Structure 1
Amino acid sequence: MKSRLVAIAACCLVATWVATLVTAQDAPKPADATAAPEGMIRHVVFFKFKEGTTEADIEKVEKAFAALPEKIEEIADFEWGTNNSPEKHDKGFTHCFLLTFDSAADRDAYLPHPAHKEFGTILRPYLEDVTVIDYAPEAENK
């Protein structure tokens, strides 16, 4: 009789353990603090300026691009800088501009925006080449 009670108790413990595992698997997962907000888009732009472009001309382009977040509400974040890599793989690109949008729809509204088009007319006379990459950030440490 005693061994039967021990067996029943053991079965109850295993059943409780299995139920706990199943319940834990079905429970909502906490948000990953390193995950990018759903829908976020990063828009990365690299410029190579034409030979003979003056520092004053480049500064005019920098200021015009930096003014876009005040003119286009869909830009959630903006930063820029000039290349300082010692690797020498820049292929002549000197400037990087990083724009963040909360969604692809916001990015899509930015592209034809009149202020963006106006910036293009300021940039075009000095631009030799441009590279643009858009991406949706992935979570860190996947």
Structure 2
Amino acid sequence: MKKLALLTGSLLALAFTLGSCSGEPKQDKVLRHVVMFGFKPEVTAEQVKAVEDAFGELPSKIDLIKDYEWGTDCSPEGLQHGLTHCFFVTFYSEADRDAYLVHPAHKEFGKVLGNKASAVTVLDYWTR
């Protein structure tokens, strides 16, 4: 029984050690930057795809972005108010988010988006 306890303790210690070697510090809270778009009726599917692709390239161009995901609306509630796309960008600090906002790659994305959006909503929050 003593050997089992020792082995279990060793495995737990190893698991915690391996889990903390990812290269990124473990964050108790992260800052989420939520961006939602709707598109004007005249915007083509190809133009929407260009916006999706351009946003998706930001994490490879801006190393301050710690995580990224996106998707399109599939809610049956009918409360989207014209919003069809949601992008989640994760940062470790407000300073990182602020630097992202003025980063040249983010500014270039703004040019791709141009006047194609019929609605834009942005909300930032600290996870709990």
Q: What TM-score does the superposition give when structure 2 sets the normalisation length?
A: 0.77
Conserved? CA contact 1:42–1:137, under 8 Å = yes
User: What secondary structure is seen at the aligned counterpart in 2 of 1:75?
Assistant: coil
Measure how far apart 1:52 and its partner are. Answer: 1.1
Which residues in structure 2 correspond to 1:52-71 (within 5 Å)?
A: 52-71=42-61
Using the alignment, how far apart are the partners of 2:113 and 2:57 within structure 1?
13
Larger Rg: 1
Distance between the aligned counterparts of 1:51 and 1:91, measured in 2? 14
The one-letter amino acid paired with 2:114 is R
- 1:37 is aligned, of 2, 27, 36, to 27
Normalising by structure 1, what TM-score? 0.70
2:82 and 2:119 in contact (8 A); partners too: no
* Distance in structure 2 (CA, Å) of the matches to 1:37 and 1:137: 10
* Paired residues, number: 103
Partners of 1:108 and 1:39 in 2: how far apart?
17
Which blocks of at least 5 consecutive residues in structure 1 are unaligned? 1-35
Give the counterpart of 2:106 among 106, 116, 141: 116
CA RMSD, Structure 1 to Structure 2 (Å): 1.3
Question: 2:122 matched to 1:132?
Answer: yes
Alignment identity in percent? 52
CA contact (8 A) 1:50 1:127 kept: yes
> Match for residue 82 of structure 1?
72
SS, match of residue 86 in structure 1: coil
Name the residue aligned to 1:107.
97
1:38: how far off?
A: 4.5
AA matched with 2:66: A
* Alignment partners' CA distance in 2, 1:99 and 1:121: 19
Show the 5 A alignment for 1:40-51.
40-51=30-41
Q: Which runs of 4+ in 1 moved over 3 A?
A: none
User: Any unmatched runs of 5+ in structure 2?
Assistant: 1-25
Q: Secondary structure at the match of 2:90?
A: strand
CA–CA separation in structure 2 for the residues paired with 1:104 and 1:80: 21
